[in-house]
A and B are shown apart, each in its own frame.
Chain A
Amino acid sequence: MIDIADITKTFDKNTVLTGVSETIRKGEIFAIIGPSGQGKTTLLRILGLLEKPTTGDVLLEGKSIVKLSDNDPVRRRIGMVFQNPVAFKDSVYHNIALGLHYRGFGKEEIRERVLQKLDEIGLSGYEERKATTLSGGEKQRVSLARIMVTGPDILILDEPTANLDPVSTEVIEDLIRHYNKKLGTTVILSTHDLIQGQRLADRVAVMMNGHFIQSGTIFDVFTRPCSVDVAKFIGIGNILVGKVIRKEDGLSVILVHDVEIHAISNAPAGTNVRIAIRPEEITLHTGPDRWSSARNVIFGTIEAVKPFGIISHVNVKSGELTLSVQVTWQSIRELDLKPGVEAVLSFKAPSVHIMPEENGNECI
């Protein structure tokens, strides 16, 4: 539906986008994730027709949309909601009706549509309220309704819940999902909240240094990060350097420091690789029983226990190798885990993700 073709954007001498390309499909929820200050907002503003790219093009159904005049009707097919909820100094009713006034709808039809949207966002009866007195979450619901009442084909959301409490966030996410499923609206959103990306999106793209470093399904990106930077960003804790030393039972044996790790990989023996193991996929035991079913078993000593809310990160050192493991606080107490205690780590071969040895940040 939307083809982004090698977009760059430079403000004065500051290059924000360094060449973004991607195809966004009709009816999907496409999430752009990435650390702050990497160009997510700028890209969305270009897609939302609020900014023009310095070079490159954006095609909507094959037609360029980067140079539309202010009065071009195609603009009305794309709506945008912003990070900071804003309301016009008017009633809630007028706030939601604004886009319909622009389109010249009749009074009756406006009324019908606005009341329906108020019902959808759970603010029925708020018509006459001053919109500026609403809470942040309510304002953001009104912002969403204000755009959706005009029936756009494409909805762009820039960090729509970044400033909201968890309850309001859930309401907004439910509405986004609702509009996507019920109306078939194509949704493009940015978020620094990885979990939100996973909850909402059909596909995600990771934006770093002004372009997409990796894009694909949630599963692809979150289980198979293409580079160390992506792996770090999506929170894979254990990133290690190793070398494939031999093949065994269809698996690759990778030497990391002085420990042999079994993994699934096509890399031939002798290849230098980076490996990543999600901390939550490693099991920690203290006794000798029942750890042997996994392919990789490592004996070590606990080096540190770092609390992270109800989950703690436990660092276990085996020779030169240190691995981080997630353990619930209950287990920490029951097993009396503390520095110096001997522990056994086990994880399966498919839990080990292989990435090529660092070749810059490029990997698409």
Chain B
Amino acid sequence: MNDLLTGIQTAFLLILTADSEVLDITFRTLQITFSSVLISTIIAIPLGAIITFNEFWGKKSLISVIQTLYALPTVIVGLLCFMILSRSGPLGTLGWMFTPNGMVFGQTILIIPIMTGLTIAALQAIDPIITDTIRSLGATRFQFLKSHLREARFTIMAAVIIGFSRAISEVGTAIMIGGNIKGHTRVLTTAISLQTSMGNFNLSLALGIILLVIALIINLFMGIVQNR
């Protein structure tokens, strides 16, 4: 119990004195997570809209598959990305193995299903009379999509937040593709894992608190936007 208290004290000290290693890891984590969320958003939202508003063979099965992938284990994504990005893999020439780019690649694959699936759910939840109204107002195909995305914006924003949360908190892909190289690919989760195994509980706790605070800030921001 005493260990825990002194741990928390030291953790705050590390944060308040702006420890350079802690700052470095935090900054890199944000960079990698925001990159993968941005790329996933650009892919998942249009993809979700296309799947929702088009009828095609196997649509229901496709949605089921996407929903199943919500639970995609991070180590499996890590394994797949390892095979794709390693020197002999199909994208080996990119040289992304053990780089932040590789980690963004892995996290993007990890969160695209959940963001696409939640976008589909958000669009399907729109009142059909809203859809009729949009058509009746004479929307072009593009305006039709735009108005639907706008109507579902709050739920879609939640999908993005969930994607962000999954990306920032995962450790499997980060460690397998990034390799937890100090000053290069070390992020909050991999650092916590390493420091804990080395017995540096104070640093681990500090990093854990930072992780939680980031999640809190993002969610507060989300709440403010939704209440506007």
Contact = CB atoms under 8 A, between A and B. Distances in A.
Contact of A75 (B130, B138, B151): B138
Given A86-B129, A88-B151, A89-B154, A71 B136 contact: no
A182 interface: no
Interface stretch (B4-12, B54-62, B85-93, B139-147): B139-147
- Highest count of chain A CB atoms <10 Å: which of B132, B133, B150, B154: B133
Contact of A150 (B127, B137, B140): B137
B85 to A, nearest CB: 42
A102 B138 contact: yes
A82 interface: yes
B202 to A, nearest CB: 46
A289 interface: no
B138 A86 contact: no
B182 interface: no
A265 interface: no
Interface string B155-187: 000000000000000000000000000000000
Interface residues on B, range: 20 to 34
A333 B93 CA distance: 99
B137 A102 contact: yes
Contacts of B143: 101-102
Contacts of A147: 136-137
Contacts of A143: 133
Contact of B136 (A80, A101, A103): A80
B227 to A, nearest CB: 11
A103 to B, nearest CB: 7
A11 B167 CA distance: 45
Contact of B130 (A49, A50, A88, A99): A88
Given A88-B151, A89-B151, A146 B133 contact: yes
A3 B127 CA distance: 31
Nearest to A80: B136
A73 B147 CA distance: 18
Contact of B137 (A71, A86, A89, A98): A98
Given A71-B140, A71-B141, A75-B138, A80 B151 contact: no
A283 interface: no
Contacts of A78: 136
Interface in A29-81: 45, 48-50, 70-71, 73, 75-76, 78-80
Contacts, number: 59
Contact of B139 (A84, A89, A102): A102
Interface in A141-164: 143, 146-147, 150
B154 A86 contact: no
Contacts of B138: 73, 75-76, 99, 102-103, 150
A146 B154 CA distance: 23
A80 B132 contact: yes
B137 A70 contact: no
A121 B140 CA distance: 27
Interface in A79-115: 79-80, 82, 84, 86, 88-90, 98-99, 101-103
A305 B141 CA distance: 61
A36 to B, nearest CB: 18
Nearest to B154: A89
Contacts of B129: 82, 84, 86
Given A89-B151, A98-B147, A50 B132 contact: yes
A86 B133 contact: yes
A35 B163 CA distance: 50
Contacts of B136: 48-50, 78-80, 147
A70 B137 CA distance: 11
- Highest count of chain B CB atoms <10 Å: which of A45, A49, A71, A76: A71
A153 to B, nearest CB: 12
B150 to A, nearest CB: 8
Contacts of A98: 134, 137, 147
Nearest to A87: B130
A45 B133 CA distance: 11
Contact of B140 (A45, A70, A99): A70
A86 B127 contact: yes
Contacts of A75: 135, 138
Nearest to A86: B129
A157 B139 CA distance: 19
Contacts of A70: 135, 140-141, 144
Nearest to B153: A89
Contact of B133 (A71, A82, A101): A82
Nearest to B138: A76
- Highest count of chain A CB atoms <10 Å: which of B127, B134, B136, B143: B136
Given A75-B138, A150-B138, 15 more contacts: A45-B132, A70-B141, A70-B144, A71-B141, A75-B135, A76-B138, A86-B127, A88-B133, A88-B150, A89-B154, A99-B138, A101-B143, A102-B137, A102-B139, A147-B136
5 contacts: A70-B135, A76-B138, A88-B150, A103-B138, A150-B138
Interface of B: 127, 129-130, 132-141, 143-144, 147, 150-151, 153-154
Interface of A: 45, 48-50, 70-71, 73, 75-76, 78-80, 82, 84, 86, 88-90, 98-99, 101-103, 143, 146-147, 150
